Chains A and B, each alone.
Chain A
Amino acid sequence: MRTFNQELKRYYSFYTVGFISFVVVLGIAEKMGVPRLYIGYAFLAATILLYAGIGIMSRTLDVAEYYVAGRKVPALFNGMATGADWMSAASFIGMAGGLYLQGFDGLAFIMGWTGGYCLVALFLAPYLRKFGQFTIPDFLGARYGGNFVRSIGVIAAIICSFVYVVAQIFGVGLITSRFTGLEFEIGVFVGLAGILVCSFLGGMKAVTWTQVAQYIILIVAYMIPVVWLSINQTGIPIPQIVYGGQLAKVTELEKKLVADPKEQEVRKILADRGKVATDKLKAGAEVSYNADKTALQAKIDELKSAPTPDGAAIQAAEKSLSTFAKDVKVYEGQLKGAQGALNAGGRVNPAIPHGTPFVGVGKTDEEKQKSSDNKRNNFLALVFCLMVGTAALPHILMRYYTTPSVQEARVSVFWSLFFIFLLYFSAPALAVLVKFDIFTNVVGKAYADLPQWVNAWQAIDKTLLSVTDINKDGIVQLAEIVLNQDVVVLATPEIAGLPYVISGLVAAGGLAAALSTADGLLLTIANALSHDMYYKMINPDASTTRRITISKIFLLIVALAAAYVTAQKPGDILFLVGAAFSLAASAFFPALVLGIFWKRANKPAAISGMLIGLGVTVYYMMRTYPFFTNLGIPKMDLWFYIAPIGSGVFGVAAGLTTMVVVSLLTKAPAQDVQDLVEHVRYPMIKGDKMDTASQAI
């Protein structure tokens, strides 16, 4: 094993050096005048070919290699693979921007997406490794007995993984289309090809070694711009240590900028526009639309019939009529936009200080206190859901089946969190550094000399970044900037004054993050269908070749289905991700943890607990989340003011309670099940004849 481990280290060191040289060569090519578009293509083609190459080199027809990489992955490398598997497009591209926009309250994602690994380490990883089959439904099926529990596991695994994979493929489409100019839909399928070649040929084995390669790309791509920005601002290349000082400066600037009379003027204009829009919406969109249109026409007529017609004024009035909303629907959208403009993209009113937790809003002190308490409770609920969801998402838990031993599984959770930590403790630093830059280099500058990157990103897409002179004073005020959270990471190389090749590198990093997560998720879904449903329930006599073939067919079908759904551009991606965590937490966590730590937990309890937990979460989302209530499902009041993204709190509580109560009311499980529990609790028991690991094959 040691030699294999050393060989891997040598191999990936060569790879890292090779990758860095590739970036340097492209950097030189850029200096020599190679157009940017080609650099974008070079990154896209090189990385996807690389992943495909690893897939071809790791192709396999062995069942254990296909499902669990032959259980040969050393702790360190499994940690890297888990890191890439874990960090999605949302972590890489969206998170720092989310922190930029939300300040302290956004840190729920940082804590939630790391602290969950404590639960994985203490409650699950070593025991699942000792059990050692292929999937999470495998464990549920063996521990609670029968295909019914397994089926619930399969369905829950498919729901949460599918929701999550759509979000990843969306990220792939976004990056490829932005950096290569391909259509969004074509970008989706190019990315998909990269995922498929890899997992199709080598299953878990190929996915594992690709994920290690992807981790290296994504961490290099994330660190270079942050470090450079930190050198620019503080002269010290370790942003994570020094950004406390920058945060203090940002807090000072916030006070000054918000108190500026010009800033107040902009906010007043936006508030007034919002009020007008609200009134018009109240009067009915169609009525207001017709009234506004008639008024414009009337004005033109009036100008024309004046004794001495003013040509310029007529032209201006005609222009405003021709650019007026072309139908009621567009008009209504504009009004709604104006209504929310005061709180759009970082333009929060009143401004929230970056470092202050749970800022309450309201007219009286009592209202403020109440809204602040609600924010705190939602923060705690979100952290809880993300943590418990982490310890329940099948594509992550599955990774701990691939280590050579129980002890390696424990160490591997350590490496997983360590590698995730490297990115997660840099994201809050990046948010603060970018905020400082925008406060000093954009706000207060004349529109004529905006930094070059602001103009460049505005030109690409107004929804990503737009700076408009609302009070017409020619100077940028804070509330005149609207930015989308994705732009923070994507624009950092330009903010830091780095060459375009680093922007390409960041895009390649985002692509690696999205592809690696999508890989793991697609494999989870295909395995649930081929291994748990087909082999364990429909055709237990299937030959190993047939099982792998079936798995590949499912992989293809699921991938195409996910790409199809993604191409429809379903709404709120962040909500989808949050929903996946709440669903996984309430379906799996109670059944898995009680299954290991409480021998008394039995089959009726698992069935009712999983169904009720999942049911409560789905019910709460359906009745409170606007997407569903707009479809005609009756809306209900929030429980304890917890937002729908935190619905897992209720689901997990309901699932746990149900399991305990039902277990105590029904018969204790049979002796062989209790023996199984003992079996997974100890890494090795002398004289233990049970061998759960080989039963999967």
Chain B
Amino acid sequence: MQLTEQHHTYWRKNLNITAILLVIWFIATFVMAFFARELASINFFGWPFPFYMAAQGSLIIYVCIIGFYAYYMQKLDVEHGVSEGASE
């Protein structure tokens, strides 16, 4: 099995996007919950901000993270010739 420069670029880009999305996930989850008490006085359309985030906001962010990853990786697959549809 021969890996080319293309493959290494693909994998590096994959690791980059994975890391970026993971940081967003971490902030939306743990940083937000850690500072929940400090943020409690902020009003967000009727909800206390941390309550909204924990009950709905972070969930929407999770769905977006996964959706974006699937979209981005499909493009990356095609660009670097590793897509499953490509001919052998």
Closest chain B CB from A432 CB (angstroms): 9
Q: Are A117 and B50 in contact (CB under 8 A)?
A: no
Other-chain residue from B3, B11, B59, B66 in contact with A121 (beta carbon distance below 8 A): B66
**Measured between alpha carbons, how far is A117 from B61 in the docked complex, in Å?**
12
Closest chain B CB from A651 CB (angstroms): 18
Knowing A383-B29, A425-B59, A428-B56, say if A357 contacts B7 (CB, 8 Å). Answer: no
The interface residues of chain A lying within 8 Å CB-to-CB of B73 are 126, 407, 410
Closest chain B CB from A427 CB (angstroms): 8
Other-chain residue from B50, B56, B74 in contact with A357 (beta carbon distance below 8 A): B50
Q: Are B54 and A111 in contact (CB under 8 A)?
A: yes
Question: Taking the complex as formed, is A438 at the interface, i.e. its CB lies under 8 A from any CB of chain B?
Answer: no
**Measured between alpha carbons, how far is A244 from B66 in the docked complex, in Å?**
27
Q: Are B37 and A111 in contact (CB under 8 A)?
A: no
**Measured between alpha carbons, how far is A690 from B2 in the docked complex, in Å?**
12
Other-chain residue from B1, B29, B34 in contact with A387 (beta carbon distance below 8 A): B29
Closest chain B CB from A676 CB (angstroms): 10
Chain A, 356-406, CB within 8 A of any chain B CB: 356-358, 372, 376, 379-380, 383-384, 387, 405-406
Other-chain residue from A407, A417, A418 in contact with B77 (beta carbon distance below 8 A): A407
The interface residues of chain A lying within 8 Å CB-to-CB of B59 are 110-111, 114-115, 421, 424-425
**Measured between alpha carbons, how far is A355 from B40 in the docked complex, in Å?**
9
Question: Taking the complex as formed, is A245 at the interface, i.e. its CB lies under 8 A from any CB of chain B?
Answer: yes
Q: Are A687 and B66 in contact (CB under 8 A)?
A: no
Other-chain residue from B7, B37, B82 in contact with A372 (beta carbon distance below 8 A): B37
**Measured between alpha carbons, how far is A355 from B52 in the docked complex, in Å?**
9
Q: 1/0 contact trace for B1-18 toward A, CB 8 Å? A: 111000100110010001
Knowing A247-B51, A383-B33, say if A418 contacts B63 (CB, 8 Å). Answer: yes
**Measured between alpha carbons, how far is A108 from B51 in the docked complex, in Å?**
11
The interface residues of chain A lying within 8 Å CB-to-CB of B10 are 682
Knowing A114-B59, A411-B70, A689-B1, say if A121 contacts B51 (CB, 8 Å). Answer: no
**Measured between alpha carbons, how far is A111 from B54 in the docked complex, in Å?**
6
> How many inter-chain residue pairs (CB < 8 Å) link A and B?
150
Q: Are B33 and A111 in contact (CB under 8 A)?
A: yes
Knowing A118-B65, A357-B51, A413-B70, say if A683 contacts B84 (CB, 8 Å). Answer: yes
The interface residues of chain B lying within 8 Å CB-to-CB of A417 are 62-63, 66
Other-chain residue from B11, B40, B60, B62 in contact with A356 (beta carbon distance below 8 A): B40
Closest chain B CB from A90 CB (angstroms): 18
Question: Taking the complex as formed, is A523 at the interface, i.e. its CB lies under 8 A from any CB of chain B?
Answer: no
Question: Taking the complex as formed, is A414 at the interface, i.e. its CB lies under 8 A from any CB of chain B?
Answer: yes
**Measured between alpha carbons, how far is A110 from B86 in the docked complex, in Å?**
40
Closest residue of A by beta carbon distance from B74 = A407
Q: Are A107 and B54 in contact (CB under 8 A)?
A: yes
Q: Are B36 and A357 in contact (CB under 8 A)?
A: yes
The interface residues of chain A lying within 8 Å CB-to-CB of B3 are 678, 685
Q: Are A117 and B36 in contact (CB under 8 A)?
A: no
Question: Taking the complex as formed, is A180 at the interface, i.e. its CB lies under 8 A from any CB of chain B?
Answer: no
The interface residues of chain A lying within 8 Å CB-to-CB of B86 are 684
Closest chain A CB from B6 CB (angstroms): 10
Question: Taking the complex as formed, is A625 at the interface, i.e. its CB lies under 8 A from any CB of chain B?
Answer: no
Closest chain B CB from A670 CB (angstroms): 14
Closest chain B CB from A167 CB (angstroms): 24
Which of the listed residues B50, B74, B84 has the most CB atoms from chain A within 10 Å of its own CB? Answer: B84
The interface residues of chain A lying within 8 Å CB-to-CB of B81 are 686
**Measured between alpha carbons, how far is A405 from B84 in the docked complex, in Å?**
8
**Measured between alpha carbons, how far is A37 from B81 in the docked complex, in Å?**
62
Other-chain residue from B1, B44, B45, B74 in contact with A685 (beta carbon distance below 8 A): B1
**Measured between alpha carbons, how far is A675 from B2 in the docked complex, in Å?**
10
Knowing A683-B84, A685-B1, say if A425 contacts B56 (CB, 8 Å). Answer: yes
Chain A, 665-697, CB within 8 A of any chain B CB: 675, 678-679, 681-690
Question: Taking the complex as formed, is A104 at the interface, i.e. its CB lies under 8 A from any CB of chain B?
Answer: yes
Q: Are A421 and B63 in contact (CB under 8 A)?
A: yes
Question: Taking the complex as formed, is A240 at the interface, i.e. its CB lies under 8 A from any CB of chain B?
Answer: yes
Q: Are B46 and A248 in contact (CB under 8 A)?
A: yes
**Measured between alpha carbons, how far is A494 from B29 in the docked complex, in Å?**
35
Question: Taking the complex as formed, is A328 at the interface, i.e. its CB lies under 8 A from any CB of chain B?
Answer: no
Q: Are A104 and B51 in contact (CB under 8 A)?
A: yes
Question: Taking the complex as formed, is A193 at the interface, i.e. its CB lies under 8 A from any CB of chain B?
Answer: no
Question: Taking the complex as formed, is A49 at the interface, i.e. its CB lies under 8 A from any CB of chain B?
Answer: no
**Measured between alpha carbons, how far is A187 from B40 in the docked complex, in Å?**
45
The interface residues of chain B lying within 8 Å CB-to-CB of A122 are 18, 21-22, 65, 69
**Measured between alpha carbons, how far is A619 from B85 in the docked complex, in Å?**
49
Q: Are B54 and A244 in contact (CB under 8 A)?
A: no
Which of the listed residues B33, B40, B50, B74 has the most CB atoms from chain A within 10 Å of its own CB? Answer: B33
Q: Are B46 and A104 in contact (CB under 8 A)?
A: no
Q: Are B83 and A684 in contact (CB under 8 A)?
A: yes
Closest chain B CB from A569 CB (angstroms): 33
Q: Which 3 A-B pairs have the closest CB atoms?
A: A244-B46, A357-B36, A428-B55
Query: A111-B29, A417-B63 given. 16 additional CB < 8 A pairs?
Result: A114-B58, A114-B59, A118-B22, A122-B21, A244-B45, A245-B46, A355-B47, A384-B30, A406-B84, A407-B77, A413-B66, A418-B63, A681-B11, A682-B11, A683-B83, A687-B88
Please list 11 pairs of residues, one from A and one from B, whose beta carbons are closer than 8 Å in the complex, sorted by A's number.
A114-B59, A118-B62, A122-B18, A122-B22, A122-B65, A126-B73, A247-B47, A380-B33, A407-B77, A679-B1, A686-B88
